Structure 1
Amino acid sequence: MCRHLAYLGPEEPLGRLLVEPPHSLYRQSWAPERQRYGTVNADGFGVGWYAQDDPVPARYRRAGPIWGDLSFADLARVVRSGALLAAVRDATLPGADGEAAAAPFAAGRWLFSHNGAIAGWPDAAAPLVPSLPPVDLLSLQARTDSAFVWALVQHRLRCGDEPADALGETVRRLAEAAPASRLNLLLTDGTSITATTWGDSLWYRTEPDSGTVVASEPYDDDPLWQEIPDRTVLTASRTGVLLAPLEDPASSPTLDSARAGTSPSPKEPCT
């Protein structure tokens, strides 16, 4: 399991959000309070942020633990942003992907993170493979379940889905293919935040003058933090937060075209 956080609001130093709070994402890398799976988040970290007048985010990612990177401490102290997404990655089996496996993943203006796991990976994900164009599979940023989830989300965004629909439909399909999966997803384009809860904790806090934070767990004791119910999609903008339930895939079949082995055209709606 991992921990992640997204922020949208007035410009702040990265460190004010990621390092300085008493239970910051930095501290959650070795002492998470609400993490139900895994014990230490030391297999990489990353932060993506948006600079003024530039829609394409910058990223800083490393394969090691966040507490071992002194350069990040300097960067977080001086770099300011009004929108960011950051994550620390749970310790997992050894692999060759290094920092390529560390969130946030990126494409164009988008930043993405997955907190969870596809149960039975990779076999359980096989029914969804035909729904992706071959080039998407060949372009996976890492050989991990999170990179595969990002490919599914990214494909739906290219097909014209709104962010909430892209995340929600991806979660429903994965939950049908691998019912024990944990699928807390986090997506931003620098102007909005979209997230799902499916199998693990997610919280948010929002204030008119302080912006909105969506995080795996609160980073302080502010009473404004609210826990998001399981199986929910959240959409946050600079004007407010909306919550909507995610439909149980058992009541709405979604894998028919994938099982039929068809791959949708990029010019047609996603199936």
Structure 2
Amino acid sequence: MCRWLAYTGNPIQLETVIFRSTHSLIDQSLHSRMGATTTNGDGFGIGWYGRLYEAPFRYRSVSPAWNDRNLREAARAIHSPLFVAHIRAATETPVQESNCHPFRHNQWLFVHNGLIRHFHMLRRDLMLKIDPALFASIEGSTDSEVMFFLALTYGLQQDPVAALERMAGVIEQTAARHRVEAPLNMTVCAMDGEQIVAVRYSSERQSRTLFHSTSFKHLHELYPHDPRIAAAGEDAFLVLSEPLVDLPDAWEEIAESTAIVARRGDIRQQAFVPRMRA
């Protein structure tokens, strides 16, 4: 359906994880091993942060990621301590640049893998719940962007996990009124230049795959001659749809209904429970 990864740590070339790993994001765009679809060729996007407090940069395209020469040049040139990359497999919305992830608002970037089932039935009700002050910033037609702006409406900038829980709860509450069963399936990532907030959740408890890296310090001890591990630093952290390399002890699957917050080497996990609105 889609594949994504998010990184925080020492500045590294985006090329390292997008192109150069054994099972890189480019490889996943053609040969996903764990996704709902094998090929993810309906566009891509990267978002990254430079200096502290600077608004994030973004590059999106409707081209298949494996066939975009500019992406290869950009990934080789960009060094960043915090970035996200996404390859898209469209569900029910058009292949157009405004529908490519990551979505952006001020300091925030957001990506999603999954879907809101029967989104065409729920779309109007969900969009009416978005803060009118944010409404003009919506550019595309995807369920993913609606999820992002609902989270912004419910306080993403103040309490990210609680805002995502409210977003999920409102979607499930709205779907129940329309008699849509198991409406939400998602792995999502939101970042603001300081932290990565990632969630794995689905209404039917059969979420899309999501993993995180284990200790880079431990990996450096196991593989002391791997320059990519050394460059990332001991506090580096990756959240991703599929492992990039088949290194023992390198990856751990994120449990169902779990949120992870990664901030400057501090990694916190907590249960993710949708909050219904009164």
Q: Same fold (TM over 0.5)?
A: yes
Please state how far the C-alpha of 1:114 moved relative to its aligned partner: 1.0
1:213 to 238, 244, 249: 238
**Do the aligned partners of 1:3 and 1:216 also contact (CA within 8 Å) in 2?**
yes
Query: What is the match of residue 168 of structure 2?
Result: 171
Secondary structure of residue in 2 paired with 1:85:
strand
2:31 counterpart of 1:31: yes
Query: Could you tell which deviates more after superposition, 8-17 or 126-135?
Result: 126-135
d(CA) in 2 for partners of 1:85 and 1:108?
16
1:243 matches 2:241: no
Cα pair 1:41 1:89 within 8 Å, conserved:
yes
Shift of 1:9: 0.2
For residues 52 and 117 of structure 2, the distance between their equivalents in structure 1, rounded to whole angstroms, comes to 40
Change (3 A) 1:115 1:77: same
TM-superposition CA deviations, 1:44-82 (whole Å, max 9, x none): 100001113452111110011111110111111121001
Which residue of the partner structure matches residue 221 of structure 2? none
**Which position in structure 2 is the counterpart of 1:194?**
197
Q: Give the C-alpha shift of residue 125 in structure 1.
A: 4.3
Q: How many pairs does the alignment contain?
A: 249
Q: Secondary structure at the match of 2:10?
A: strand
CA distance in 2, matches of 1:54, 1:78: 21
Partner of 1:22: 22
Contact 1:167 1:185 in 2 (8 A): no
Matched position secondary structure for 1:103: coil
Q: 1:175 to 1:109 in 2, by over 3 A?
A: same
Question: Scaled by the length of structure 2, what TM-score is found?
Answer: 0.83
Give the drift of 1:93: 4.8
What's the counterpart of residue 89 of structure 1?
Answer: 88
Indicate yes or no: 2:127 matched with 1:144. Answer: no
Contact map agreement 1:122 1:145 (CA 8 A) in 2: no
* Offset from partner CA, 1:140-161 (integer Å, 9 cap, x none): 2201111111111122236x53
Give the TM-score of the pair, scaled to structure 1. 0.85
How far is the alpha carbon of 1:175 from its aligned partner? 3.2
Equivalent position of 2:159 in the other structure: 162
Verify the 8 A CA contact 1:168 1:196 in the aligned structure 2. Answer: no
- Work out the CA distance in 2 between the residues paired with 1:30 and 1:184: 20
Q: 1:99 aligns to what?
A: 97
Aligned: 1:204 with 2:205: no
Aligned partner of 2:250 in structure 1 is: 224
User: Do the aligned partners of 1:87 and 1:113 also contact (CA within 8 Å) in 2?
Assistant: yes
Q: Which amino acid aligns with 1:239?
A: G
Q: CA RMSD in A?
A: 1.9
Secondary structure, counterpart of 1:5 in structure 2 = strand
Which residue of 2 is the match for residue 70 of structure 1? Answer: 69
Q: Return the alpha-carbon distance in structure 2 between the equivalents of residues 189 and 51 of structure 1.
A: 12
- Mapped partners of 1:40, 1:90: distance in 2: 7
- Which runs of 5 or more structure 1 residues have no equivalent in the other structure? 257-271
Paired with 2:54 and 2:167, the residues of 1 have a C-alpha distance of 25
Q: 139-148 vs 200-209, which deviates more? A: 200-209
- Give identity over the alignment, percent: 30
